[in-house]
Amino acid sequence: MPEDGHSYEAAGVSIERGDRAAALMRSAVEATHGPEVVGGTGGFAGLYALSGMEDPVLASTMDGVGTKTVVAREVGRYDTLGADIVNHCANDVLATGARPLLFLDYLASGRLDPEAVAVVVRGAAEVCKELGISLIGGETAEMPGMYGEGDMEIVGCCVGACERSEVVTGEEVRAGDAVIGLPSSGLHTNGYTLARKVIEDAGISYSDTPEPLECTVGEAYLEPHRAYVREIEALRETVEVRGMAHITGGGLPGNLPRSPGGLGARLDASSWEEPAVFTMIRSLGNIPEDEMRRVFNLGVGFCVVVSAADVDQALGILREMKCEAWRIGEAVGEEGVRFA
């Protein structure tokens, strides 16, 4: 049954391609395993020992990279998609106050291309290793009835944990608190349906370099999703972080209020630097500003809310980590996000 190959324990009709993919990725995957991974790969589920915690809360999230995979197929480059899916999921876990601990991937295509699969999983494993996340399991599915031969669906699941007292609910946010924006690297994994349509309608190819880009459209569109794990860890060692938001589908207006405590904010849209890729999309597609804000992160990939008294210290800590963050606005009593 071709749909049933396991990434690290391939089975079925695709056993040859599954085995080849597994062989190509195994050492990179195993390099993410510390002593907390119990029993290695190939079991029915990945085992991870959660030691030394008093009152642990697990944080779990599942997400896909969306049609960024279509861009990858058209450009013929899959090496950044692993970072995309890990960082997308890890940042979601991070926004709850938890530390991302383990990751699982699901890759599906019409015909398993062992090299492409291995490139994606090795990319995921590299980022996992950097961030101290164990890549603990995965599934590679081959479904000729569902996907085109070159199509690849990429889904990830990240599980993290923290003490109950460390959960950031947003309930501590007070009107007047500062909203700090951390820079995105570009589109991250959101808005690709619109981003692709704009290019297509304008008759521009992924190898073109339209104004004001300084790289090709393909390079700009495949820039990997940035992780904020290290930055937020450093910040929380010193500063009280009262709220966090990962800016994904829905943009700033859709995501700032997702912090469970609720959060209204007034933002100054001129306070941060917009990457050229968004300027290009807005201008080529003649997209209204409201739509731009609801579809794209526009340069702010993650937000933290701190008291006004802590904002300079917070910005200093981020700057030391080469993270050029901005004070982009403040928390307000009324619901919703408004732009000044």
Residue ranges in 64-93 that form contacts with a second copy under rule CB under 8 A: 64, 66-67, 69-70, 91-93
Shorter beta-carbon distance to a second copy: residue 155 or 268: 155
d(CA 304, CA 244) in angstroms, rounded, equals 4
CA distances from 38 to 140, 211, 310 (A): 22, 51, 41
Measured at the CA of 75, the angle between CA 73 and CA 78, to 5 degrees, comes to: 60
Shorter beta-carbon distance to a second copy: residue 44 or 322: 44
d(CA 223, CA 275) in angstroms, rounded, equals 12
In the set 19, 30, 57, 269, which binds a second copy (CB under 8 A)? 57
* Helix, strand or coil, per DSSP, at residue 88: helix
Handedness of CA 300, 306, 308, 313 (dihedral sign): negative
Strand partners, 134: 102
For 22, the token pair is: 């597994």
By CB under 8 A, residue 39 contacts a second copy: yes
In the set 96, 117, 186, 303, which binds a second copy (CB under 8 A)? 96
Under 8 Å between Cβ of 257 and 336: yes
Could you identify the residue written with the tokens 């291995």? 118
Phi then psi dihedrals of residue 215, to 5 deg: -140, 180
In the set 34, 35, 145, 203, which binds a second copy (CB under 8 A)? 145
Q: What is the DSSP letter of 263?
A: -
Binding flags for a second copy, 103-122, as an x/- string (CB under 8 A): -xxx-x--------------
Shorter beta-carbon distance to a second copy: residue 31 or 49: 49
In the set 16, 23, 27, 62, which binds a second copy (CB under 8 A)? 62
Shorter beta-carbon distance to a second copy: residue 272 or 296: 296
Least Å distance, CB 212 to a second copy, is 22
d(CA 95, CA 302) in angstroms, rounded, equals 8
By CB under 8 A, residue 298 contacts a second copy: no
Stretch (H or E) spanning 221: helix 217-222
By CB under 8 A, residue 339 contacts a second copy: no
By CB under 8 A, residue 60 contacts a second copy: yes
Could you tell me how many residues of this chain bind a second copy (CB under 8 A)? 87
In the set 132, 250, 264, 285, which binds a second copy (CB under 8 A)? 250
Shorter beta-carbon distance to a second copy: residue 64 or 209: 64
By CB under 8 A, residue 194 contacts a second copy: yes
By CB under 8 A, residue 248 contacts a second copy: yes
Stretch that binds a second copy, among 100-108, 111-119, 224-232, 281-289 (CB under 8 A): 100-108
Stretch that binds a second copy, among 21-29, 44-52, 223-231, 317-325 (CB under 8 A): 44-52
d(CA 221, CA 10) in angstroms, rounded, equals 32
